[in-house]
Amino acid sequence: MSKRYGDRTAVDDLSLDVKPGAVTGFLGPNGAGKSTTMRMILGLDRPTAGTALIKGVPYHEIRRPLRTVGALLDARAVHPGRSCRAHLLALARSNGIAKSRVEEVLETVGLAEAAHRRAGALSLGMSQRLGIAGALLGDPEVVMFDEPVNGLDPDGVRWVRHLMRSLADQGRTVFVSSHLMSEMQLTADHLVVIGRGRLIMDAPLAEVIARSSLTAVVVRSPHAGDFSARLASAGIRAERSGENELVATGAAIERVGDLAYEAGIRLHGLSTRQASLEQAYAELTADSTEYGARREGARNGDR
């Protein structure tokens, strides 16, 4: 899909396939096109080119959409004068969902005792819970969340994490946008990373982290010097970090271990030093940040 607003391209020829049975994290800097992409999937914005399909059909062709796809894009997009229960009852009625389901989702998200409160009086965290309740109302096979943990306390963040994992474990499709890399590292199975509207990476979480230059294999051996030359001949960069220690990049730990075995090199230690998702993400999007803040003390245009 592509989406242009005048001479500005928000989404640029983006293709992706979000699969069931996994939590797919949707990452990118501010202005990367994440929210626009989600809005196009849900028929709220029309693509300039391309098509978005849910289970093979456009959103507007789904007769009772809440039974197929549930979404939380804006927790405040609720009539402020309606109570939590009234808001959910209106959604249920419009999609032929039983009234009893409203009470079930209120209980699920922890709002049973606040069901009578008006939406406009809710805190941001409680509004997020109400939005999640609306997304779950139709017991959908596909769920989409845009920054679902905004405003939640630590207990609420853990609850959302476990909710997304349980939905994926049930075989549902879970597509979640977030800027919290630590949460994505704990929650996501697969990542889609975009920048300036273009796809940067579409890969399993472990692969995204493994590709970081900060992910390395630490080797301890009394023959570190000889092994360094052997690794170099195999196209693996290795630097001495101590008298008997090497740090090798660009290869999996299994490959390094096999090379040591083939060369008859005695090893005293072999371990992986793994980058965090935040570090891997920063490398991937270094050239795609449109709204980066100036570092304190930066001069002469340094960013």
Task: Give the pLDDT mean for 190-214.
Answer: 92
In a domain, 185, yes or no: yes
**Is the Cα torsion angle 214, 215, 221, 226 positive or negative in sign?**
negative
Whether residue 157 is predicted with pLDDT greater than 50 in this model: the reply is yes
Task: Give the pLDDT mean for 75-85.
Answer: 94
Which residue in 275, 268, 276 sits closest to 246, CA to CA? 268
- Distance, in Å, from the CA atom of 90 to the CA atom of 80, rounded to the nearest integer, reads 14
Task: Give the pLDDT mean for 66-85.
Answer: 95
Strands 245-249 and 216-220: antiparallel
Whether residue 291 is predicted with pLDDT greater than 90 in this model: the reply is no
Task: Give the pLDDT mean for 232-252.
Answer: 90
In a domain, 287, yes or no: no
Task: Give the pLDDT mean for 239-248.
Answer: 92
Residues 243 and 142 in one domain: no
Task: Give the pLDDT mean for 56-69.
Answer: 95
Percent above pLDDT 90 for the chain: 85
Residues 148 and 250 in one domain: no
pLDDT of residue 300: 46
pLDDT of residue 217: 93
Could you report the per-residue pLDDT of 3-38, keeping only the tens digit for each?
A: 999 999 999 999 999 999 999 999 999 999 999 999
Q: Which two tokens stand for residue 15?
A: 């293709």
- Distance, in Å, from the CA atom of 27 to the CA atom of 205, rounded to the nearest integer, reads 12
Residues 191 and 252 in one domain: no
Domain count, the chain: 2
Residues 253 and 136 in one domain: no
pLDDT of residue 249: 87
| C-alpha 20: how far from chain center | 15
In a domain, 148, yes or no: yes
Last residue of a domain, one of 171, 204, 237: 204
Whether residue 297 is predicted with pLDDT greater than 80 in this model: the reply is no
Residues 53 and 128 in one domain: yes
Whether residue 294 is predicted with pLDDT greater than 70 in this model: the reply is no
**Domain residue limits at 105:** 3-204
Strands 22-27 and 173-177: parallel
Task: Give the pLDDT mean for 96-105.
Answer: 96
pLDDT of residue 299: 46
Last residue of a domain, one of 204, 232, 255: 204
Residues 199 and 226 in one domain: no
Residues 145 and 245 in one domain: no
Q: Which two tokens stand for residue 80?
A: 């402020």
Mean model confidence pLDDT for the chain = 92
pLDDT of residue 301: 43
In a domain, 86, yes or no: yes
Confidence of residue 265 (pLDDT cuts 50, 70, 90): very high
Residues 57 and 98 in one domain: yes
Confidence of residue 213 (pLDDT cuts 50, 70, 90): confident
Residues 257 and 180 in one domain: no
Confidence of residue 303 (pLDDT cuts 50, 70, 90): very low
Last residue of a domain, one of 204, 224, 253: 204
